[in-house]
Amino acid sequence: MRVFSFCFLLIATQAQVLVGQNLTTKAYKQYSLRQLDSAAVSFQALAATDSTQPDVRAMLSAIYCQTKRYDDAHREASAALALAPKSACYWTLLGNARWGQGLTDQALRAYLKSLDLLAEGLFQPSHTISVLRAVMPYRQLEKQVNELIASSKATPQHYVLLGYALQMQSRFEESLAAYQKALTMQPDQMEGYLFVSELHRAAKQTQPMVEAYEQAVEHDPFISSKLYKAAIQDYTESLRKETGSFAYFALGYIHEKGLGTPANLTEAQKWYAYAEQMHNHIAAVKLIQLYGRGAVPGVNGKEEIHRIQQNRNAGRRSHTIEFKLANGNYQTATVFVDAYPADKTKPYAAESRRLNEVYGTTVDLYSLIPLDRPIEPVVADVAAPRQSQLAAAAPLTASLMASPLLSPELSASAVQFAQSAVGTAKLTQTFNRRIEPFLEPYLADSVAAVMTQTLADYLGDVAHTPVLAIQRLRQDLITNRADQGFLYYAIAFLHEQLSGSSDWSSAEKWYTYAFQLHYTPAYQRLKRRYSQEVLSPVKLARLDKNWQNGATEIPLTLETPEGDVKTVSVYVLDNMGNSPEPIANEVSRLLDLYGVEVPQQTVERFNMLYREARQTNLSYQDLCRQAFLNKS
């Protein structure tokens, strides 16, 4: 997706010509190695040397967005725009900063301004992705984009935005027409075909879905330029970055069609199978087609088709593991395990082969993953191709690591749901259904897009101010007006948006409250945090164990500050590590939310039971049930 690199290459070229060559080279190298703190220092030095270069200020804005220093990002983007007010790239950076600050209306205006400034015929999908992230009703988005189209400023991304807004209102025929218009204006781009494929999938139009997905591969810049070996190398390298199933599918397609390599259906089947293992719908269809016509030598096509259908109906287990590479470094990867493997005595054989092929090392999955874990459904992978390249395309796409390609199931009456208690419950159910495809693996940007739209539907204008939104959600928790797990998760999400990586503790606390209620999105968010963002094997292991065991609800009758009596629940987890106060979080939650204090005598009783459980190797939850729930 070399079009993503346009602004980055332009900025890099200009900055290297106009500013100190050695320091510039150093700064961009640090950025490419993801050494963001060091890169920020280098770009700050460049800015101090010559403050008139907008490209340097733009790079600082991009770095600050990625490190969630949004106020600094806004300052630098504004400085870049003051020097070059007609740069679409810089308006996008301003939108990113405003989005991070929670000023979504201003972010949207900046993104749309960037669209207006794009050169005619230049399609920049990341601008489209930016606008899709903005918090606004889809009918409003449709209206604004139509106004831009009517003003004779239409670009391909305007039609993609229009198609998306229509798709989210379940107006599929109109949506498809808009996407096709975008592709007519700029056919040589990948994202449009992926949107079209997803639309056909929602409409259960199998062959058009497959053809659009294949067109996305055909319009890869390397492949469309017939640089096939470069494409193969690029996709192969992207596999190690865990960017989703698209790269696996693309390699299968390359081998099936013989693009730069002799056609080899056995090799194509292998890569398609890896993609299907990740629940790629199109890869499953391709395999069924190959098996159905007996095109793969040595394979019983009928049996394999039956097995694919069984696995897709039953679901798959997924696990995040850590293993050692040949160079001594450690690698984290997600593995997927069939409910119906080809060889029941070796259920991890397929994933072992994949890891060996991708990472060049033998991984003993049988020692890392217990064989008796329950099956957890793995849902569709909708990852954009080669997400790692979006990061390398700074500053235009540096903070847009995943495309929010959402399920088209949002009802047009979602706003009406928020008008009653029954409606709130339906809205929560809609959120849970729409977020499901992005939970495993946890696709942060897609989850954010679903959550922000849901909060807008639920809270109206209040959603635009995170502090007020949190207050409203806390009040709903107190009055039990809606699903508790969702409300805890939503508050955690807002805390994360407000503080980012600078203060994870507030978000972690509220995610944990939702986790205790066995709320799957909270579990997946914490799992991603401990397995990928801040590696913590101990916390991850504890998280998985507590998820498997669940929490025990212990009702307590406590006195409020007003002298009233209130019955509340304490949630007890079996595995709290070496903590001397296993219900400390619960004590904090009850005081923070309800203003009630758990008597110290009761707290010490919970502490004593936890010490006893650790000393005797008994279940802490069982001891608490006996002590607090059994009256005898």
Render pLDDT for 264-310 as a digit per residue (tens, 0 to 9).
999 999 999 999 988 788 999 999 999 998 888 888 989 999 998 88
At 403, is the secondary structure helix, strand, or coil? coil
CA distance 428 to 324: 41
Write the CA distances from 232 to 216, 251, 334, integer angstroms: 15, 7, 22
**What pLDDT is attached to residue 377?**
36
Q: Which of 167, 155, 157 minimizes the C-alpha distance to 127?
A: 157
DSSP state, residue 465: S
Looking at residue 88, its amino acid is A
606 Cβ partners below 8 Å, 6+ apart?
570, 572, 582, 583, 624
| Structure tokens given for 589 | 């939650």
pLDDT at 557 over 80: yes
Q: Is pLDDT above 90 for 600?
A: no
pLDDT of residue 138: 67
**CA 358, 364, 370, 371 torsion: positive or negative?**
positive
- Whether 389 shows a pLDDT value over 80: the answer reads no
- Per-residue pLDDT tens digits for 174-222: 888 998 888 888 887 777 788 888 888 777 788 989 999 999 999 888 8
- pLDDT tops 50 at residue 23: yes
Q: Which range among 31-45, 151-165, 422-436 shows the weakest confidence by mean pLDDT?
A: 422-436
| pLDDT tens, residue by residue, 331-341 | 778 788 888 88
Count the residues in the chain: 632
Q: Which range has the worst mean pLDDT, 86-90, 135-139, 518-522?
A: 135-139
CB 411 within 8 Å of CB 170: yes
Domain parsing of the chain, residue ranges: 2-170, 231-368, 409-523, 552-629
Does 501 score more than 80 pLDDT?
no
Q: Please state, in angstroms and rounded to a whole number, the distance separating the CA atoms of residues 57 and 62.
A: 9
Say which amino acid occupies 343: D
Provide the mean pLDDT of the chain.
Answer: 76
**pLDDT exceeds 80 at position 498:** no
Which of 28-37, 138-147, 191-200, 289-298 shows the highest mean pLDDT?
289-298
| Of the ranges 20-29, 84-93, 316-325, the best mean pLDDT one | 84-93
Per-residue confidence band for 562, with pLDDT thresholds at 50, 70 and 90:
low
Helix (H) and strand (E) counts in the chain? 33, 4
Q: Which residue has the higher pLDDT, 460 or 510?
A: 510
Q: What percent of the chain has pLDDT over 90?
A: 14
Give residue 425's pLDDT: 63
Q: Is the pLDDT of residue 126 over 60?
A: no
Residues 545-566: what's their mean pLDDT?
83
Question: Out of 338-342, 474-478, 493-497, which region has the weakest mean confidence (pLDDT)?
Answer: 474-478
Q: What is the pLDDT of residue 114?
A: 74
pLDDT at 13 over 60: no
CATH of segment(s) 2-170: 1.25.40.10
Let me know: does 478 contact 484? Beta carbons within 8 Å.
no
Tokens of 236: 């192969």
| Mean local confidence (pLDDT), 84-112 | 80
Q: Residue 462's pLDDT band (boundaries 50, 70, 90)?
A: low
The radius of gyration computed from the CA coordinates of the chain, to the nearest angstrom, equals: 26
How far apart (Å, rounded) are the C-alpha atoms in residues 29 and 16? Answer: 12
- Residue 31: which residues within 8 A CB-CB, separation 6 or more? 39, 59, 63, 394
Retrieve residue 150's tokens: 């009517």
Q: Over the stretch 410-452, which tens digit does the pLDDT of each residue have?
A: 222 222 322 333 445 666 777 888 788 788 777 777 788 788 8
The model's pLDDT over 304-313, given as tens digits with 9 standing for 90+, comes to 999 988 887 7
Buried b (16+ CB within 10 A) or exposed e, 266-278: ebbbbbbbbbbbb
3-state secondary structure 33-60: CCCHHHHHHHHHHHHHHCCCCHHHHHHH
Distance, in Å, from the CA atom of 415 to the CA atom of 463, rounded to the nearest integer, reads: 13
